[in-house]
């Protein structure tokens, strides 16, 4: 697949090599081999790269949103806690799987076509 198609497939949780087979066998566990094309997905190792980026993105969004709300309306601390803690957890969990798929696709493209 071309680079853009592989990245889109990774974001959607599909095999970056063919775009058809599922990439994950659990929430974040990458399948060893694509069921559709037989591509070796176990050789692509992303480590903690996706988690690092997702934590920074979620922290930035929620941190600055909480700061803006505090400056504008001065809500009590308990309201901050019941709004921002679940939001940062939901945002991090919601972005984790597409982020891991993206990192897997980028790593696969990098190792397949080194420059």
**The predicted structure's pLDDT at residue 113:** 59
* 74 SS3 class: coil
Q: What is the pLDDT of residue 2?
A: 86
In the chain, % of residues over pLDDT 70: 97
Low-confidence residues in the chain, pLDDT < 50: none
The pTM (predicted TM-score) of the whole model is 0.89
CA distance 91 to 83: 12
Where do the H-state alpha helices sit in the chain? 3-11, 49-73, 77-112
What is the extent of the structural domain holding 63? 3-112
- Count of structural domains within the chain: 1
């Amino acid at each position: 697949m071309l680079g853009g198609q592989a990245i889109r497939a990774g974001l959607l949780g599909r095999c970056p090599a063919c775009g058809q087979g599922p990439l994950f066998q659990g929430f974040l566990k990458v399948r060893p081999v694509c069921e559709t094309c037989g591509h070796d997905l176990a050789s692509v190792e992303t480590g903690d790269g996706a988690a690092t980026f997702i934590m920074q993105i979620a922290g930035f969004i929620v941190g600055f949103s909480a700061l803006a709300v505090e400056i504008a309306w001065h809500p009590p601390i308990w309201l901050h806690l019941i709004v921002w803690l679940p939001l940062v957890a939901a945002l991090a969990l919601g972005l984790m799987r597409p982020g891991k798929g993206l990192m897997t696709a980028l790593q696969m493209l990098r190792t397949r076509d080194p420059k």
